[in-house]
Amino acid sequence: MNSITEEIKSRIDIIDLIAEYMDLKRAGQNYKGLCPFHSEKTPSFMVSPSKQIFHCFGCHKGGDIFAFVMNYENMTFQEAVSHLSQKAGIKTEVFKGDSKIKGMKESLFAIQKEALLFFQNNLKISKQATSYLKERGLNSETIERFSIGYSKSEKDSLFSHLKEQGFSLEHIKASGLVNSGEKGVYDFFRDRLMFPIFDLQGRAIAFGGRILSNLKNMPKYINSPDSIIFKKGETSYGLNIAKSTITQKGYSIIVEGYLDAIMCHQYGFANAIAPLGTALTSGQLKKLKRFSNKVLLIFDGDSAGISATKRSIELCYAEGMIAKILLLPQGEDPDTFLRRHGEENFRKYMSKAISPAEFLLMISGKSKLDAVRYMLQVISSCPDPLQRDEAIRELSDKSKTNELTLREELKNVIQKTLNLKGSGMHSIGTSQKEFSKSTKIKEIKKEIKTDEEILLNIALSMPEKTNAIIDRIDIKIVENPVIRGIFEKIKTYTADESNINKGLLIEKLLSICNEGEQKLITMFSVNPQIDEEHADESIECCLKKIVLKNIEKQIKAAEQLGDEKLLDSLTRHRNYLRNLSHKIKGGNLVKN
């Protein structure tokens, strides 16, 4: 694994890679540009060609070429390695795992792609299908953009075509495009408009089909069954096209059907996606959250639509996502509304979107108390304490209920969940993790001013000084948990005999650090802010201050315990150290 990533890095320069995605301009030894991960008018995104890393001083994202691709393309690390290995012309069979599974996946991707082309060609010669699409208001550009096709009514036209293309029966069956029974193998989709479903890399992985004939007892829509490349509960229709707009606008529009999503895109609302003919799932929201944690829910106003909206609200809160609800006029959906009333009227309606609390109170009728209790249950599942706090304030305002009463009742709801299910602790733990993560980011945002930060900055920017710092600092007394973690990893790195003659390589260090540590490392590395001429003096001064600060903490603890003997010993030791100018080793001051 390490050899593969190192080989990829040796072949792909970070400046060349990032320049494919955005404009970069020389800024001294580095390059700068407008950050692609958040909106800004003044460039705060910096790239270091010498260290092969990037860092944004606005949103604090940072890392190497893999981190950039993961953030920009919303890929996993494994996906980023696969993507960049292809770009670098490197084979990664050993990394991808079992060759049989790999071969099956590649074959299924190829089969889905071939089926897509087959369905598209069918559409071109089907007057019925093209006429239907025209009646529904879809223009040729939209049809092409979403790769819409048509499946013939014949029993096995696709199956015969795939066999002619040389695909094995085993793989064709595994694709979900055919069924088999007493009468042999036959196409799963027949006489249907075909809506390809793509993964985030734009590869066809499944299909949805809408029936065109008037046959009774036939479902209007059907989807491909799950396979090793397609999980319906984790996939949203149109997300591959909408993802960049969702990131840009900061929210996604969730509608019910394929045509609703397609029509939204045709009318300029390119951040619209849809579940795959079923209710929204937590798996779909988890993937959607990678692009934005804000959603606008637009479901039908009938009883089924209201139930779907309520369920979606529950899932959004459980995933820590912020939701708004848009209620269209009775009998309308995004598809019909846009075609009848146009873009501007739809945009006006979007401005009338309401919060979950408003929605639940509105549909409750006279049962306001039940709506409040239900909303408290929903809020209790949210892992974000700040979001819970805001939701309680709004619920109090909209329901005219005392806020303190609501907060007390929320505690009771959470406690009941703990007692009944034993799973509430997981939610609370998640909240603590989110709070911890938020705290670390705030720590990173501070200007460099603490002794620990100065030492880390020198260690990262001047590799020749790294051992002098690591050998002499007591890592256990470093207060900042992020910096402490980085020092521990530097110590592990420098202790490795294979790294003794290489010095501290930032890209190697990043590979063993977590996200919070990586952000701090890239920030310090891209913009060191150190006085190299007086680095040795700074090291001695910082080490001394860190030791003295630790002794001060021990003194306070002794005072609280009332341990006079220990207090006296610590105080004399502190005063002694203050009056001497010595070097530090192992967390203690020693004479030269």
pLDDT at 2: 61
pLDDT at 330: 81
Task: Categorize the per-residue pLDDT at 397 as very low, low, confident or very high, splitting at 50, 70 and 90.
Answer: very high
Model pLDDT for residues 417-446, shown as the tens digit of each residue? 776 654 433 433 333 343 334 334 444 444
> Looking at domain 99-230, which of 3.40.50.720, 3.90.980.10, 3.30.420.40, 3.90.79.10 is its CATH number?
3.90.980.10
Model pLDDT for residues 25-68, shown as the tens digit of each residue? 888 889 999 888 887 778 899 999 888 899 999 888 899 999 99
Type of residue numbered 536: D
Span of 354-358, 401-405, 500-504 with lowest mean pLDDT: 500-504
Model pLDDT for residues 196-230, shown as the tens digit of each residue? 999 988 899 999 999 998 777 788 999 999 998 99
Is the model more confident about 370 or about 267?
267
pLDDT at 121: 97
pLDDT at 499: 59
Q: What is the mean pLDDT of residues 110-124?
A: 97
Report residue 288 as tokens.
């959607």
pLDDT at 420: 60
| pLDDT above 80: residue 317 | yes
| pLDDT above 50: residue 560 | yes
Cβ–Cβ under 8 Å, residues 50 and 63: no
pLDDT at 53: 92
| pLDDT above 60: residue 329 | yes
What percentage of the chain carries pLDDT values higher than 70? 89
Type of residue numbered 287: K
Q: What is the mean pLDDT of residues 549-575?
A: 86
Type of residue numbered 358: E
- Give Cβ neighbours of residue 356 (< 8 Å, ≥ 6 apart): 313, 316, 317, 323, 325, 375, 378, 391
235-353: CATH number: 3.40.1360.10
Cβ–Cβ under 8 Å, residues 212 and 132: yes
Cβ–Cβ under 8 Å, residues 186 and 155: yes
- Mean pLDDT over all residues of the chain? 85
| pLDDT above 60: residue 93 | no
Cβ–Cβ under 8 Å, residues 301 and 330: yes
Taking the CA of residue 428 as centre, how many other CA atoms within 13 Å lie in the half-sphere pointing to its CB?
Answer: 10
**Helix ranges (DSSP H) in 496-534:** 506-510, 515-526
The neighbour count for residue 305, using CB atoms within 10 Å, is: 17
Tokens 């090291």, residue located: 539
| pLDDT above 90: residue 354 | yes
Task: Categorize the per-residue pLDDT at 526 as very low, low, confident or very high, splitting at 50, 70 and 90.
Answer: confident
Distant-in-sequence contacts of 427-436, Cβ < 8 A, 24+ apart: 427/380, 427/381, 427/383, 430/383, 431/383, 431/384, 431/385, 434/320, 434/383, 434/384, 434/385, 435/385
pTM equals 0.62
pLDDT at 535: 85
Q: What is the mean pLDDT of residues 112-122?
A: 97
Q: How far is CA 424 from the centre of its chain?
A: 24
- Give Cβ neighbours of residue 235 (< 8 Å, ≥ 6 apart): 197, 199, 205, 206, 276, 284, 287
3-state secondary structure of 319: coil
Cβ–Cβ under 8 Å, residues 469 and 539: yes
What's the chain's Rg over C-alpha atoms? 30
pLDDT at 516: 84
- Spell out the CATH class of 2-95: alpha beta
Task: Categorize the per-residue pLDDT at 100 as very low, low, confident or very high, splitting at 50, 70 and 90.
Answer: low
Going by the DSSP 8-state scheme, the letter that residue 237 receives in this structure is: B
Q: Quick one: which of 533, 523, 534 has its CA closest to 453?
A: 523
| pLDDT above 60: residue 586 | no
| pLDDT above 60: residue 581 | no
The neighbour count for residue 422, using CB atoms within 10 Å, is: 9
| pLDDT above 60: residue 257 | yes
Most confident range, picked from 65-79, 374-388, 410-424:
374-388
Report residue 183 as tokens.
């009468």
pLDDT at 563: 83
Distant-in-sequence contacts of 385-391, Cβ < 8 A, 24+ apart: 385/431, 385/434, 385/435, 387/317, 387/320, 387/322, 391/317, 391/356, 391/357
CA distance 482 to 346: 47
CA distance 512 to 529: 24
CA distances from residue 513 to 87, 418, 435, 524 in whole angstroms, order as listed? 25, 34, 20, 15
Q: What is the mean pLDDT of residues 543-547?
A: 88
Task: Categorize the per-residue pLDDT at 136 as very low, low, confident or very high, splitting at 50, 70 and 90.
Answer: very high
Q: What is the mean pLDDT of residues 408-421?
A: 79
pLDDT at 497: 59
CA distance 263 to 334: 7
**Burial state string for 261-289 with b = 16 or more CB within 10 A and e = fewer than 16:** bbbbbbbebbbbbbbbbeebbeebbebbb
